[in-house]
Amino acid sequence: MTGLPVLRVILVDDHPVVREGFRSMLVGESIDVVAEAGCGADAVRLAQSLDPDVVVLDLQLPDMDGVAVLREIKKSASRSAVLVVSMHDDPAMVRKAMRAGASGYLLKGVTRKDLLGALRAVSSGTAVLDPAVVEGVLGGVPDASRSRADAVMADALTVVERRVLRLVADGLTNREIGERMQWSIATAKKYVQRTFEKLNVSNRAQAVASGIRRGLLE
């Protein structure tokens, strides 16, 4: 990791031993753990005052609902990316967190390599989802709380574009999308790009995260 810009990170978990574990995983990797918090109120206060690059957030906190904490952090420290690291793999919880503004969602037990990669990714604007939760999230039924703006976006995507988004979420390449839709590679690439533009994203991971947040991937 030598030569990479130093990321300023806040660790939020109600268990000191978990925070210590994360801290030990980040030592010597161009990561500066600027603060730790064991409750939601402290997490919001520290995020607002320190303006970190990334907040690593557990959703199980003693004083506040974790998703509410996430929303408050995004409201008061909107520049900071929030990476949820939780033991909960409930698809509804994952969707709720992503729609509240999380840039990524990992399950506890994540490896050092994957944690470091996720921190770098979300700090640069790339969405991250733990592979263990993707299938459940995409296969679940979205809740009924989708905003008016999200409903408009859903209507903005054509039936074909929504199909393309689903194929992207399933991990298909442009070539494979073309084969599935009986298109040329050029046509598949055009539809993928058009879908990304409508979602205001630049890559596949961001498209999947945006689709989840907006309730487009049912």
List pLDDT tens digits, range 74-131. Answer: 998 888 999 999 988 888 898 889 889 898 999 988 889 999 999 998 898 888 888 7
Q: pTM above the 0.75 mark?
A: no
Residue closest to 45 by CA, chosen among 35, 54, 60, 53: 35
Residue closest to 65 by CA, chosen among 50, 44, 91, 35: 44
**Domain shared by 153 and 124, yes or no:** no
Residue closest to 5 by CA, chosen among 29, 41, 40: 29
As a whole number of angstroms, the distance between CA 202 and CA 98 comes to: 17
List pLDDT tens digits, range 132-172. Answer: 787 677 655 444 444 444 544 455 788 888 889 989 988 89
- At position 202, the amino acid (one-letter code) is S
- Look at the chain and report how many structural domains it folds into: 2
Cβ neighbours, 10 Å, residue 114: 15
List pLDDT tens digits, range 51-62. Answer: 999 999 999 999
Instruction: Supply the pLDDT for residue 2.
Output: 53
**Domain shared by 94 and 48, yes or no:** yes
* Position 106 in a domain: yes
- The average pLDDT across 39-57 equals 96
| Residue range of the domain that includes 119 | 7-139
- The average pLDDT across 13-34 equals 93
**Domain shared by 127 and 165, yes or no:** no
* Position 1 in a domain: no
Q: Please, is 168 exposed, middle or buried when counting C-beta atoms within 10 Å of its C-beta (0-12, 13-18, 19+)? A: buried
**Domain shared by 91 and 194, yes or no:** no
> Is 218 or 101 the better-scoring residue by pLDDT?
101
CATH number at residue 84: 3.40.50.2300
CATH number at residue 158: 1.10.10.10
**Domain shared by 133 and 154, yes or no:** no
